[in-house]
Amino acid sequence: MERKIIQALIEGKGLKRICQEYKVGKDRVRTLRSTAIEYGYLNEARGPGNNPIPNYPEIIFPDSIDRRSLKTSEANQKLLEYFSWIEVHLQAGWHKVTVFEELPIKVSRSSFYRFLDRHKLQEVGRSFRRVVPEIIHKPGEALILDWGKLRDVVDEESGSKRTLWFLTGVMGHSRYMMVRLVWTNSVAVTLKAIESMFQELGGIPQKIISDNPKCFALEASRYEPLLNPALERFASHYGITMECLPPRDPQKKGKVERMITYCRRLYEAHGEAWHGLEESQEYLNKKMILANTRKHGTTMQQPINVFNQEEKIYLKPLPALAYEVEDYAKLWSDVMVMCDFKTNTILWKKSLFQKR
């Protein structure tokens, strides 16, 4: 706009005409006229000056100095000495408050944050992200499991409240997802739910990955968890490997962790009415068809297509007979215990050392 106004003044256009043509005020035109005369673009007789107007995009007038930039505080001078130190530690992933707490000098918190804004160090902290290595699974390698609470169900006759849970399974390569509604995560219920997932997949993956529920691990461990004997027999029957992840390390099964809230969102349109477990399972099955045909946010592909085209052929065939949960006797210290895993009850106990 300044270039156009000065060019109009050189051409001899009047003040009123310039204001009407460019929709600007008279004071702005007068100021530009005085500045143009000062820089030699315009002479006193309102004709061309000795200096030609620079071609675009070169600036006509240099930027004015912001007087506030000439002022600096004592805290800013101190922090300037540690500019490199602050930048290096922000790039290393330190939080801004940690950098402030570890500063070798004493300044106020507000002065420190103003220093970060002034020197654009806030962006250094935001741009850094701790990179978690992506866990890549081969086709047919892993079925990843996790539990989540779906809702509370109130019995209309007794008025008692019962929690409804869901077991989510995600294939590690294709991100194909399955959901099974369960009342409990007992051994029998869990293994039956996993078997139904095998039936839906039409085969068996190489391993199952999960955290450490009691139906899977009697004792959680970072290195060598103690697996439930019923689970070991189940894995032997289907020829799969059970992998119980270390405690408090959900990132190692993030592919299924993020689906827990997604499953709840898929169910929210169902409403609070309760028509039985089978009806809710059928409702979620329809939602799973929708979920598996949408493009996955990470792979940008439809999970159902990736599963059918790349992963299904690598699954092992199903055995002729399904696994039947059996009773199991375990020796704990000096006591023999017989358990029924179908009901998760202790049938009897017997001491191995009798009093003489």
Q: For the chain, give the percent of residues with pLDDT over 70.
A: 85
Assess contact for 262 and 146: CB atoms under 8 A: no
Tell me: the pLDDT tens digits for 244-294? 888 877 777 888 888 898 999 889 889 888 999 999 999 999 999 999 999
Tell me: the pLDDT tens digits for 191-248? 999 999 999 999 999 999 998 888 888 888 887 888 888 889 999 999 999 898 888 7
Residue 306 has pLDDT above 90, yes or no: yes
Instruction: Say whether domain 142-314 belongs to CATH 3.40.50.11540.
Output: no
When pLDDT is averaged across residues 119-126 and rounded to a whole number, the result is: 76
Tell me: the pLDDT tens digits for 157-168? 777 899 999 999
Q: Chain centroid to CA 61: how far? A: 49
Domain ranges in the chain are: 1-66, 73-127, 142-314, 326-356
Distance, in Å, from the CA atom of 273 to the CA atom of 283, rounded to the nearest integer, reads: 13
User: Which DSSP symbol is given to 119?
Assistant: T
pTM: 0.58
Tell me: the pLDDT tens digits for 75-100? 888 899 999 999 888 888 788 888 88
pLDDT grade for 117, boundaries at 50, 70 and 90: confident
Lowest mean pLDDT segment, chosen from 53-67, 250-264, 325-339: 325-339
Distance, in Å, from the CA atom of 283 to the CA atom of 287, rounded to the nearest integer, reads: 7
CA distances (Å), 57 to each of 24, 54, 60, 61, in order? 22, 8, 9, 12
Residue 335 has pLDDT above 60, yes or no: no
- Greater confidence (117 vs 61) lies with 117
- Residue from 142, 135, 175 nearest 314 by CA: 142
What is the identity of the amino acid at 119?
H
- Greater confidence (68 vs 314) lies with 314
What is the identity of the amino acid at 6?
I
Assess contact for 229 and 222: CB atoms under 8 A: no
Which pLDDT does position 354 carry in this prediction?
Answer: 45
Pick the most confident of 7-21, 43-57, 325-339: 7-21
* Mean per-residue pLDDT of the chain: 83
